[in-house]
Amino acid sequence: DTGVSQNPRHKITKRGQNVTFRCDPISEHNRLYWYRQTLGQGPEFLTYFQNEAQLEKSRLLSDRFSAERPKGSFSTLEIQRTEQGDSAMYLCASSLVRADYGDTQYFGPGTRLTVL
């Protein structure tokens, strides 16, 4: 399968614990996005990378959240001191942007986080 992959698919944790999610984009895609989706809502943008550079962060991304894409390939999203309000589906998307090519974002299956 050459699509976007995310691990783990499900994570249950206790309030106050740290969690880390991983996203592997489609190979050769240079952009990687993180979104969060809660029940009954559409996905909300969190942050985005162009290669290894993190170029934009939403104000939804509090200082407990950090994302990295160290070699411009896979990315990790870490949440420190989790709160019950962090319970959501965390979606990763990737795209290939070139001067002559449109930017279609392809989503991974998501990581569903439940904070008890």
Partner 1 sequence: RKEVEQDPGPFNVPEGATVAFNCTYSNSASQSFFWYRQDCRKEPKLLMSVYSSGNEDGRFTAQLNRASQYISLLIRDSKLSDSATYLCVVNEGGYNKLIFGAGTRLAVHP
Query: Rule CB under 8 A: which residues touch partner 1?
Result: 31, 33, 35, 40-45, 48, 50, 55-56, 91, 93, 95, 97, 103-110, 112
> Distance (Å, rounded) from C-alpha 87 to C-alpha 75?
20
Provide, rounded to whole angstroms, the least separation between the CB of residue 99 and partner 1.
14
Q: Which residue has the tokens 């989706």?
A: 37
Of 68 and 80, the one with the shorter C-beta distance to partner 1 is: 68
Q: Are the C-beta atoms of 97 and 76 separated by less than 8 Å?
A: no
> Distance (Å, rounded) from C-alpha 52 to C-alpha 90?
20
Provide, rounded to whole angstroms, the least separation between the CB of residue 58 and partner 1.
8
Provide, rounded to whole angstroms, the least separation between the CB of residue 28 and partner 1.
17
Of 97 and 116, the one with the shorter C-beta distance to partner 1 is: 97
> Distance (Å, rounded) from C-alpha 54 to C-alpha 33?
10
